[in-house]
Chains A and B, each alone.
Chain A
Amino acid sequence: MPGVIVFGELAGDDLHEASLEALTAGTLLSAQLGEPLIGALLGENARTAVAGFQRGTQRMLLYESGELRQYDGERFAACAHRLVMDSGARVVLAAHTIQTRDWMPRLAARMDAGLVMDCTALAAQGDALLVTRPIFGGSVLGDFTLCGTPMMATLSPGAFAPAETIAHCAVDAVAPVAVPDHGVTLIEEIAGDTGDGLRLQDAKIVISGGRGVGGPENWHYIEKAAQDLGAAVGCSRPVVDAGWVASRHQVGMSGTTVAPEVYVAVGISGAVHHLAGIAAARTVVAINTDAEAGIFRRANYGAIGDFREVLPAFVARVRELRGD
């Protein structure tokens, strides 16, 4: 009876919320394959997350060690390898996170296994899995067949509803693994560079400018609008390439991924590269002279016209309505 093993992730002592979504995907496959669902937790205080992660699992495996306090990809992969081996599972799942996108490929390489990351759908078909994941910056879905043993996948956050049914199961701690020196040592872990102004990734509102702004001499329209609305300044790649704006403002595939309540795209055409960075924006507003611009397909609201007229009027009216 091989099984489906689902790794939960700890954020401090709490369970990463996407872990319960991964459990839903695991429940689905476990039913389709007629094999048990096994939960797995690894971390310094893995035990603290057991109660929250027992949702439909028939068994739970723990790897608890102070050595897991700081993230080390090789160590995580080595410990996860032990958990997978002990479980006997032939399907290995985890939420797609900053950590799993590093240690799952290491584990797949160790086990010489097929891995598909950031899946939005998966299903069993015979001895294989059919999986779907976004490619080309999220504008195209790729369907893949995954086979071999084990079969591994990480699941895109938000693609599955969190598992709800709470049911207690047996919990076993696995024996520790000795991780040999792999040539990498952590000197220190420091808070990320925030730069000046509002952090793009934290901003509730982002005002972002593209090539359609026309030139660096017009960039003050974007900055002024952002300042007046308490927004962060973003931009598309051509604007950085042209040297109008510092690269830390770049939103998109090779820049920052943002998740604001409102994203205002000014003079941005909507290239793949850019749309990849705003997939999580709740509302997208486009201001563009070109009614055919691709951005209007992604945007929820739009205004066609010269941003030099539209944007200042927009900002002034928002401030009136807010009572600023």
Chain B
Amino acid sequence: MQIVVTIKQVPDPNFPPANVKLDPSGRRIGSPMGVPAVMNGYDANALEEALRLKEQHGGRVSALSLGDEACRPVLKRAVAMGADQALLLGDENWLNADSGGIGAVIAAAVRKLGMPDLVLCGRQASDTDGGQVLFRLAHALGFAVITPVSKIESFEGGALVVQRQNGDTVQRLRVRLPALLGISSEINEPRTPSMRGLSNATRMRIPRWTAVDLDVPGLSARVAPRGVRVIESSSMAELVEGDSGMQRGIALAERLHAQGLI
């Protein structure tokens, strides 16, 4: 099974968002200063699922990321986890595209690599929370798309049986390949890279493709950022008083009870 996994580099969501701002061009949202970049959590789940499918059914896993040179560590990590190849889609102009444009660029790259059986994406990115690129990519490739997928049950006769979270219910769906799945975090626990994987990642060359390598017509930018505002809550919790932890616990209970809350 030929599988492509899309990977986004995001600011570590475990840090407070104090420094989010537009980059100097004013056309995209910059990474918060001082916050380490990590692989988007759902994308790590997507990669893990791709590696498991490859282990069961054979094939090849390719990891793609659209971004600048700062994305390389995340692609290296994808190789360290077990991806067979990694590719950076790194044209400066692509960075300002909206989800439609990004979907078109990734689709062109996927075509050039050779049409896969399956594309796995994270259900959304933890920075922009957009959840749209996977739909645009699937449309551009002419693939069926199912998201959010919490389980891949089986692969038989050229079709996958998957579970899709549909609010309070779960849909069991059969999808004929080729297809694209948006992967949710319930599906697995991403592996930690092995020593051998880390050594592979050190050696592997990660090519960078730009507009010269891909024929992408005029890029859609129908949605453009104008500004970002960090919600600096000036409010502070009402702190209960007391001489000891125990007394503060009692005071907290009495305060909540007086408000009819508990």
**Chain A residues close to B by CB (< 8 Å):** 70-71, 73-74, 98, 101-102, 105-106, 108-110, 112-118, 130, 134-148, 151, 182-193, 205, 229, 237-238, 247-248, 253-255, 261-262, 270-273, 282-287, 291, 294, 296-318, 321-322
Contacts and interface: CB of A to CB of B under 8 A. Distances in A.
Interface of B: 11, 13-17, 20, 29, 41-42, 98-100, 103, 126-132, 135-136, 138-140, 144-147, 161, 165-176, 179, 185-186, 189, 220, 222-231, 233, 235-240, 242, 244-257, 259, 261-262
B13 A286 contact: no
Contacts of A308: 245
B248 A184 contact: no
Chain A binding surface SS class = mixed
A294 B235 CA distance: 11
A187 B172 contact: yes
A285 B170 CA distance: 33
A321 B254 contact: yes
Contacts of B29: 135, 142
A299 B237 contact: yes
Contacts of A307: 245
B94 to A, nearest CB: 17
Given A271-B14, A301-B240, A317-B253, A105 B229 contact: no
B91 to A, nearest CB: 21
A314 B250 contact: yes
Nearest to A97: B167
B16 A137 contact: no
Nearest to B174: A185
Nearest to B140: A109
Contacts of B166: 71, 98, 189
A136 B127 contact: yes
A183 B176 contact: yes
A62 B144 CA distance: 26
A134 B231 CA distance: 10
B175 to A, nearest CB: 5
Contacts of B145: 73, 106
B185 A254 contact: yes
Given A116-B223, A136-B20, 5 more contacts: A114-B223, A140-B17, A186-B173, A305-B249, A309-B244
